[in-house]
Amino acid sequence: MNQYQFQAPRLTPVNRVILIATGACFLLHSILKAVGYFNLVTLLGLSGADVMRGMIFQFVTYPVMETQLMSALFNSLLVWFIGSELETLWGQKVYIRFLLLNVIGVGIFYFLVSVIFFQGTHMYGSSLSGLTGVNFALLIAYAVLYPERQLSLMMIFPMKARTFCWILAGIEAYMALFSNVTTAWAHLLAMGLSWLIIHFQRTPMLHKVLNYTFQKAKPKKGHLYVVKDDDQKPPKYWQ
């Protein structure tokens, strides 16, 4: 009788940092909320009102700000399983830049929509937070690269990766159109950005952004000369 043992992929360095940051923020938020002292989402989550007050760091901090236990656990597992494989495939440099393009791109879109269309409303001060958008971006990238691989919907129904992602996109589209879940639009944008990056990664500009290596400036050639002392031979020292 054959036995199959599930083995989790190795947790890669970038994703380890993401999970540690997410866990720390979730724990700190839970403690501060329990004592009624401070809501950490208002500091690290992304909102149009806060960015207009100069809190531009929220463009990169909002993904690690999880507020619900099950969401934090599920999203962290997806980052571990899907993200680690992509980081191993692409390397740390490309993987980090892929994430930043998605996170900052979605953040800018959310900010502009809040400022242009919802200023003065509840949406203007509503915070975008959590790893869900990042995970949707990772899943789209995974499905484009490995469309025939099998994933499980709700851990029960096995299906091809591309079918899995089409279902997720449909669910988010329904929530965006027929419910008051405003973050669904941001999640759809994350999926769209991920698809565009994967499909157009070889265009000169995008390829340069993803693969550019900063080169250290070459040291200037020094001029070696002898400082002579009139009363001493050979030379006293080199300069």
User: Mind listing the pLDDT tens digit for each residue in 106-117?
Assistant: 999 999 988 998
* Confidence (pLDDT) at 124: 87
Q: Would you say 44 and 65 are in contact if contact means Cβ atoms under 8 Å apart?
A: yes
Out of 1.10.260.40, 2.60.130.10, 2.20.28.90, 1.20.1540.10, the CATH code matching 13-211 is 1.20.1540.10
Task: Please state which of the ranges 51-65, 83-97, 204-218 shows the lowest mean pLDDT.
Answer: 204-218
pLDDT tens digits for range 124-146: 888 999 999 999 999 999 999 88
How far the first Cα of the chain sits from its last, in Å, is: 78
- What is the residue extent of each domain of the chain? 13-211
Which range has the worst mean pLDDT, 5-19, 62-76, 123-137, 202-216? 202-216
Cβ pair 45, 129 in contact under 8 A:
yes
Residue 78 near residue 137, CB atoms below 8 Å: no
